[in-house]
Structure 1
Amino acid sequence: MSVDGRLGEVGAAYERAVFGGDISRLAAAERGLDVVEADVALARGRILHARYLAARAAGSSPAEDPAELPLFERAAELYRRAGDVRGEGAALFWTGCLHQVIRRDDDVAVPYLERSQRLAAETGDQAVEAEALRHLGIAAHAAGRLDDARSRLEESARLWREAGTPEGVAANMVGLAYIAAAQGRVTDAMAILDEAYAIAAPREAYAIAAPREAYAVVDQIEQARAGIRA
């Protein structure tokens, strides 16, 4: 339901309570407001995360914004209170992502990511499930569990294909190439990168409104090629 719709329900519940003595809709109206507040908190947290990533990509060493984690945690709490399992899964993903990407703490991140992946699978949220699996694959790779990492990234890529998100597929293939190289399968690694390039490069070159992710993935592919060849 839209924000306007939820606010409209609050107004209607108020009028029924004040003018008709019917308070039966107040609890549902409050849950609706919890979801609106959670949506805003999650969106604000993602903006802060995007700023961090942009600064890091520009070559600086950004500090964590102290407001980011409380926003994600507040969103998760509000979604949980409202019974919004899909929203809770998304908020938990971003909480885990912060711990992994910004704080470099997979021990803390992984339980959030695992819970997020389970909730996303339950609610059919392919985008969040694919993202959670990708980051779980990254954690497994860092821990030296290469077969586990490969399995997670392959499943994430499958979900991205089903969702029609080629940038996600190509990004996961970069990770799979690094795993192949770590397993001594250098020829396989280069073939995976060639396939990833075939997916990402046409969108970069020809799409008028190509997603920014397409450009970033091509850069990642070229970096991986150079690193694996070395």
Structure 2
Amino acid sequence: MTASSVGAEDRIERARKLCDDAMFAADPAALAAAERTLDTVEADHALARGRALHVRFLEERVEDPHELELFERAAELYRQLGDPRGEGEALFRVGSVHQVVRGDHDAAVPAFVRARELATQVGDRLTLSYVLRHLAFVEQAAGRTAEAVELMAESTRLRREIGFLPGVAANLVGLGYLTAEAGQPDRALSFIDEAATVAEVAGAHGILRWVDEARVNLRPA
């Protein structure tokens, strides 16, 4: 959903012209159109800025309190704009702050559930794949490994369909850990081997580090 800088500039210029129309041409619809255009810019910017802060958290493991505020603002603006795709992605990000940044699975679930509904409604398979992956972590934390495997597998299927290879590799690592927890060490190592292959093809060097860690962590005693 994030807009390019050129797209944002185009929208801002359009809003400026609409404001001129409202002021000088007495166009009653122009001001509302300008506000809607600027709300779209603000929503896209909030979502993109929040994502940048989330990546920063993953690197430094220090929470920025603005991250959650940005995602919540984006979700509200997209809701007001009638953009379920944007709202779904923003709500997934709200849930990820609760789960990943704050370690609170219970607080994350309502946002994930609504994001799943919206992503399914609009056919947003990428966002849906993220939601299912993180719902798998919820199930894992609750000790429901079989349910976690099912959700992670469905997320992986969606990612294969849309060609999101780094995401496929990441999920295969997740499936490796989950199947190891389920007492299937050979299957777990098979997932890790496949993750390495997919990550190599995708040039996903960060995921290759996960693969190396998983091979150490899942090595038979």
TM-score using structure 1 length: 0.87
Shift of 1:79: 1.2
Q: Which residue of 2 aligns with 1:6?
A: 11
SS at match of 1:133: helix
Q: Which residue of 2 aligns with 1:78?
A: 77
Q: Which residue of 2 aligns with 1:216?
A: 206
- Cα distance between partner residues in 2 of 1:164 and 1:130: 12
- Cα distance between partner residues in 2 of 1:70 and 1:202: 37
- Cα distance between partner residues in 1 of 2:178 and 2:22: 61
Deviations 1:95-141 (A, max 9, x none): 11111111000000111112112212222222211111111111111
Counterpart amino acid of residue 164 in structure 1: G
8 Å CA contact retained: 2:145, 2:178:
yes
1:148 aligns with 2:138: no
Matches within 5 A, 1:171-210: 171-203=170-202, 210=203
SS at match of 1:104: coil
1:35 aligns with 2:40: yes
Shift of 1:29: 2.3
Shift of 1:63: 2.8
| 5+ long unaligned stretches in structure 2 | none
Counterpart amino acid of residue 54 in structure 1: E
SS at match of 2:218: helix
SS at match of 1:111: helix
Q: Which residue of 2 aligns with 1:58?
A: none
- Cα distance between partner residues in 2 of 1:155 and 1:120: 14
Shift of 1:171: 0.9
Q: Which residue of 2 aligns with 1:118?
A: 117
TM-score using structure 2 length: 0.90
Q: 1:54 aligns with which of 49, 55, 59?
A: 59
- Cα distance between partner residues in 2 of 1:192 and 1:68: 33
Matches within 5 A, 1:162-177: 162-177=161-176
- Cα distance between partner residues in 2 of 1:74 and 1:44: 11
- Cα distance between partner residues in 1 of 2:37 and 2:19: 13
Q: Which residue of 2 aligns with 1:207?
A: none
Shift of 1:228: 1.8
Q: Which residue of 1 aligns with 2:65?
A: 66
Q: Which residue of 2 aligns with 1:106?
A: 105
| Percent of residue pairs bearing the same amino acid type | 47
8 Å CA contact retained: 1:13, 1:25:
yes
- Cα distance between partner residues in 2 of 1:66 and 1:181: 35
- Cα distance between partner residues in 2 of 1:42 and 1:15: 28
Q: Which residue of 2 aligns with 1:25?
A: 30
Deviations 1:145-186 (A, max 9, x none): 112111111111111111211111111111111121111111
8 Å CA contact retained: 2:146, 2:182:
no
Q: Which residue of 2 aligns with 1:206?
A: none
- Cα distance between partner residues in 1 of 2:201 and 2:89: 30
Shift of 1:36: 0.5
1:16 aligns with 2:21: yes
4+ residue runs over 6 A deviation: none
Q: Which residue of 1 aligns with 2:50?
A: 45
Shift of 1:67: 1.4
CA RMSD in angstroms comes to 1.7
Shift of 1:143: 0.9
- Cα distance between partner residues in 1 of 2:20 and 2:33: 14
Q: Choose 22-31 or 167-176, whichever is displaced more.
A: 22-31
* Number of residue pairs aligned between Structure 1 and Structure 2: 215
- Cα distance between partner residues in 2 of 1:85 and 1:31: 15
